[in-house]
């Protein structure tokens, strides 16, 4: 065996109250596709930040091509040949592609030459890009290309990819994998961070699994089943949500031919949305991020007002009503952004419970707050949804992502709504909490509520949804039964192809 | 005929003089805001510049040394703002307002013995035959050097922001500080330098008032020029040339209404006095209207606190 490219020996890093990394050792071979696997909070991000020079380890050392490697800054890491594609893209919306690429390079050539090189490299790797476009106007997939091309222009020895597929359609994932395999053949090592097991089994030669900041195992992912990997990652046996076949009830929520402008300059406007949600039905809405998911949630929750008759709840027009009035009538929503949208970060759990539960749970009387009732409501949520917290007086921002998500979704479910809208209910949530949340949504539907789940996690949608539609550039495809849908078909729907045009003709 | 008594060449010349202090402050604040910092202390830095410039010019008998002192004075005050917002992580808005109040008070203290003193004259720049041209010579080519330096500064800022790597980094920091940090740029260092530049420009603007425009020291003599500069930056959609156009428009209306007052037009003086503010803001608001255009150009991280995550 040849010498490894990067050797990590006993790396530890502690933050106040958390041991993010504890004595982690592994190595990445030359030209190897190495997976780093773990749940949120397992320590993947910290480890990667250490390799990229953003964080200094407390102890331990790294060796890159038999030389000690301790980058003090990202630019030092870049000079040593380490490049990184970030999970939350490190791009600047108001600048164009060439400028964005130049900002991530140590010694960029003049912009005109750079534009030429961007064209050449991006075509060579099958990632076409126009260097003069403004990044704010690009799709998520194109934005990722900008990041990748930025890295490739520096001939990296090690390319770190942090959760690269979370924003891509299945077809785009295929293109990305082709690029990565080609790079590996040319001798570039790739450290691929993900919690999507099928991807890792399809792509990687070796996987290192982290849990709770420690290395659990290094293995060949192709020799393990997805289930074995998942259990290594989570440390417990997982159960998929149980569901019975259930009868569909009447239409509870209906949207007719609704077009609505986004409230954000880089947002996506909704175009001609039609949908019907029945009692007892779980409708899953797929789509790549930024195709109108946020706008759809805002429109349904009432934060964006629509024409009065365009949205009806149990036959009653509610398009003109705000979130408070809609909640009173039985429509509740849980947006994607937990901190700052679903919950007020600096308020306690009791206060957060009160903020959305006040009307349906009758927690105010003549303008005065029933604190005892609010606290009881918060306790109920915590008990029923297994929210791990020292008490109800804790600030929302102090909870981990998974626990807060259980709290905000639980809060809405506890209100016994007729319709619930959730966006990315399990985004950034550990597998056990995700299972709890999905089970709760299934149970709510079984009680006869209409459930609308917007998600970018296809496996999640296929697991719980009865019917299925996709958003593409603000348009919603026809709703189809989830039974018998293949991932390929879904990919086409998400990409805007498939039967959408047929559906348009049929309705015309 | 009342309007006949107004000489257009003199009007144009006076307009450039009236616009220069605001333009100086605005171009500095534009750079500060492009880096993602909102410094509401422009008024305070201007008046500190006005007083330090005046005091130093009187004591050294040199207007030029006075201007240098004013730039340094504004910069020192802006460093206080940088310390508060970049190191101690205080709120930008509150710190900026405090800076203005502090600057107004401190300048009154420093300037106590200088009320009624005449500062040394700033020499007119001799442009030779250019200033002999009829009309244009009088209007454009017979000013002091600061007027031309200010225009050069606008060009320099435009060039810096749109055509240099350092300018691109500054815009990147203002656009998305988390991404800039992730790429290894020093967000706080860039911002501190921008704040210092803004302070120096505001100081120069203030000194232009006390050394050339008025020229005298009186307490609170900036009378809102700093606030107009702040408004100009926003309504100019953070574009240097547009800020200059806005400043000249403002200067023009100021001069015109003064002339109209002198000519005895029968409009109440109060309306004439408020007209420059009203007209400038209306015109720039119309130019930058259309939700997408104006707001798209706003720096994405403007006035958002930055915490490095490690």
Residue range A49-72, pLDDT digits in tens: 899 988 899 999 999 988 899 998
- Please give, rounded to a whole number of angstroms, the shortest distance from the CA of B21 to a CA of chain A: 30
What is the ipTM metric for this complex?
0.77
Residues A419-439, mean pLDDT to the nearest whole number: 84
Do residues A302 and A293 touch, judged by C-beta distance below 8 A?
no
DSSP result, A166-207 = GG--HHHHHHHHHHHHHHHHTT-EEEEEES-HHHHHHH-SEE
| A229 and A258 together in one domain | no
| A63 and A150 together in one domain | yes
- Please give, rounded to a whole number of angstroms, the shortest distance from the CA of A94 to a CA of chain B: 7
| A379 and A502 together in one domain | yes
| A141 and A288 together in one domain | no
| A383 and A494 together in one domain | yes
Residue A241 lies in a domain: no
Residue A244 lies in a domain: no
Q: What is the DSSP letter of A130?
A: -
Q: Domains in chain B and their CATH numbers?
A: 3-116+142-296 (1.10.3470)
Residue A289 lies in a domain: yes
* Cβ contact, residue pair A94, B300, below 8 Å: yes
CB atoms within 10 A of CB B228: 24
Cα–Cα distance, A81 to A157 (Å, whole number): 5
B291 touches chain A (CB under 8 A): yes
* Cβ contact, residue pair A90, B291, below 8 Å: no
Pick the residue from chain A with its C-alpha nearest to B293: A265
Of A170, A204, A234, which closes a domain? A234
Residue A202 lies in a domain: yes
| A310 and A189 together in one domain | no
CATH number at residue A39: 3.40.50.300
- Least confident interval from A77-91, A476-490, B291-305: B291-305
Of A171, A199, A234, which closes a domain? A234
Q: What is the longest distance spanned by two Cα atoms in chain A?
A: 77
Residue A1 lies in a domain: no
| A82 and A163 together in one domain | yes
Evaluate if residue B291 carries a pLDDT over 60: no
**Structural domain for A360, as ranges:** 251-507
Residue A507's pLDDT band (cuts 50, 70, 90): very low
Give the CB-side neighbour count of residue A393, counting CA atoms within 13 A: 1
| A79 and A182 together in one domain | yes
Option in A49, A56, A102 nearest B168 (CB): A102
Residue A451 lies in a domain: yes
| A126 and A49 together in one domain | yes
Q: What is the DSSP letter of A477?
A: P
Residue A185 lies in a domain: yes
Residue A243 lies in a domain: no
| A107 and A224 together in one domain | yes
- Please give, rounded to a whole number of angstroms, the shortest distance from the CA of A90 to a CA of chain B: 4
Option in A56, A89, A93 nearest B300 (CB): A93
| A262 and A121 together in one domain | no
Question: Angle CA(A211)–CA(A195)–CA(A205) in degrees, nearest 5?
Answer: 95
Evaluate if residue B284 carries a pLDDT over 80: no
Summarised one tens digit per residue, pLDDT across range A310-332 is 999 999 999 999 998 999 999 99
Do residues A143 and A130 touch, judged by C-beta distance below 8 A?
no
**CA neighbor of B236 nearest in space, from B16, B29, B96:** B29
* Total structural domains within chain A: 2
- Backbone phi, psi, residue B115, to 5°: -70, 130
| A257 and A142 together in one domain | no
Phi-psi region of B231 (alpha: psi -120 to 50; beta: other; left: phi over 0): alpha
Of A234, A262, A291, which closes a domain? A234
Cα–Cα distance, A374 to A381 (Å, whole number): 11
Evaluate if residue A442 carries a pLDDT over 50: yes
The whole-number pLDDT of residue A500 equals 41
């Amino acid at each position: 065996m040849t010498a490894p490219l990067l050797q990590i020996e006993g790396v530890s890093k502690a933050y106040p109250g958390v041991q993010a990394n504890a004595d982690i050792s592994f190595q990445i071979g030359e030209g190897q596709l190495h997976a780093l696997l773990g749940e949120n909070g397992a320590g993947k991000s910290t480890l990667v930040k250490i390799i990229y020079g953003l964080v200094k380890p407390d102890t331990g050392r790294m060796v890159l091509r038999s030389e000690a490697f301790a980058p003090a800054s990202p630019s030092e890491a870049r000079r040593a040949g380490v490049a990184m594609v970030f999970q939350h893209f490190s791009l600047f919306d108001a600048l164009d592609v060439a400028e964005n690429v130049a900002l991530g390079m140590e010694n960029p050539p003049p912009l005109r030459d750079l534009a030429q090189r961007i064209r050449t490299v991006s075509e060579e790797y099958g990632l076409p890009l126009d260097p003069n476009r403004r990044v704010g106007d690009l799709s998520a997939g194109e934005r990722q290309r900008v990041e990748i091309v930025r890295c490739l222009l520096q001939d990296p020895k090690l390319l770190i990819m942090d959760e690269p597929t979370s924003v891509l359609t299945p077809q785009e994932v295929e293109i990305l994998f082709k690029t990565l395999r080609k790079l590996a053949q040319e001798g570039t090592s790739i450290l691929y961070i993900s919690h999507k097991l099928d991807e890792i089994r399809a792509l990687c030669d070796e996987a290192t699994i982290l849990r709770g900041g420690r290395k659990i195992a290094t293995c060949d992912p192709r020799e393990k089943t997805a289930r074995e990997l998942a259990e290594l990652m989570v440390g417990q046996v997982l159960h998929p949500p149980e569901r019975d076949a259930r009868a569909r009830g009447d239409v509870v929520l209906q949207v007719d031919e609704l077009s609505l402008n986004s409230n954000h300059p880089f947002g996506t406007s909704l175009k001609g949305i039609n949908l019907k949600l029945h009692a007892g039905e779980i409708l899953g809405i797929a789509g790549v991020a930024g195709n109108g998911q946020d706008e759809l949630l805002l429109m349904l929750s009432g934060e964006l007002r629509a024409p009065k008759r365009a949205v009806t709840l149990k036959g009653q027009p509610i398009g003109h009503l705000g979130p408070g009035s809609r909640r009173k009538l039985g429509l509740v929503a849980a947006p994607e952004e937990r901190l700052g949208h679903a919950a007020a970060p600096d308020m306690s759990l009791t206060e957060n419970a009160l903020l959305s539960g006040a009307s349906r749970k009758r927690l105010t009387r003549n303008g005065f707050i029933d604190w005892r009732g609010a606290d009881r409501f918060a306790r109920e949520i915590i008990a029923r949804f297994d929210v791990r917290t020292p008490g109800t007086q804790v600030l929302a921002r102090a909870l981990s992502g998974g626990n807060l998500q259980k709290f905000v979704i639980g809060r809405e479910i506890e209100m016994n709504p007729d319709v619930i809208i959730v966006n990315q209910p399990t985004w950034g949530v550990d597998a056990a909490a995700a299972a709890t949340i999905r089970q709760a949504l299934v149970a709510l539907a079984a009680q006869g509520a209409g459930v609308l789940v917007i998600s970018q996690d296809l496996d999640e949608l296929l697991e719980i949804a009865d019917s299925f539609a996709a958003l593409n550039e603000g348009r919603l495809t026809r709703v189809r039964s989830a039974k018998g849908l293949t991932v390929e078909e879904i990919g086409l729907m998400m990409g805007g192809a498939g039967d959408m045009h047929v559906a348009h003709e049929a309705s015309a | 005929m009342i309007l006949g008594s107004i000489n257009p060449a003199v009007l144009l010349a006076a307009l450039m003089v009236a616009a220069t202090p605001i333009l100086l402050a605005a171009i500095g604040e534009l750079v500060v805001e492009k880096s993602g910092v909102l410094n509401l202390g422009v008024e305070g830095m201007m008046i500190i510049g006005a007083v330090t410039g005046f005091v130093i010019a009187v004591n050294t008998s040199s207007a030029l040394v006075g201007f240098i002192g004013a730039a340094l004075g504004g910069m020192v005050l802006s460093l206080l703002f940088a310390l508060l917002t970049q190191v101690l992580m205080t709120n930008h808005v509150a710190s900026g307002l405090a800076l203005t109040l502090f600057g107004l008070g401190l300048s009154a203290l420093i300037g106590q013995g200088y009320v009624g003193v005449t500062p040394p004259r700033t020499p007119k720049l001799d442009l030779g035959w250019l200033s002999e041209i009829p009309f244009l010579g009088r209007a454009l080519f017979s000013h002091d050097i600061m007027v031309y330096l200010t225009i050069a500064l606008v060009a320099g800022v435009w060039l810096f922001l749109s055509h240099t790597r350092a300018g691109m980094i500054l815009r990147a920091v203002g656009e998305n500080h988390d991404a800039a940090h992730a790429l290894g740029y020093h967000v706080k260092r860039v911002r501190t330098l921008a704040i210092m530049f803004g302070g120096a420009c505001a100081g120069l603007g203030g000194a232009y008032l006390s050394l050339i425009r008025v020229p005298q020291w009186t307490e609170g003599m900036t009378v809102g020029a700093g606030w107009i500069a702040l408004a100009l930056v926003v309504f100019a959609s953070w574009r240097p040339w547009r800020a200059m156009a806005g400043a000249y428009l403002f200067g023009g209306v100021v001069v015109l209404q003064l002339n109209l007052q002198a000519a005895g037009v029968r409009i109440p003086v109060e309306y004439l006095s408020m007209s420059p503010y009203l007209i400038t803001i209306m015109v720039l608001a119309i130019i930058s209207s259309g939700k997408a255009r104006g707001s798209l150009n706003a720096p994405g991280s403007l006035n958002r606190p930055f915490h490095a995550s490690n």
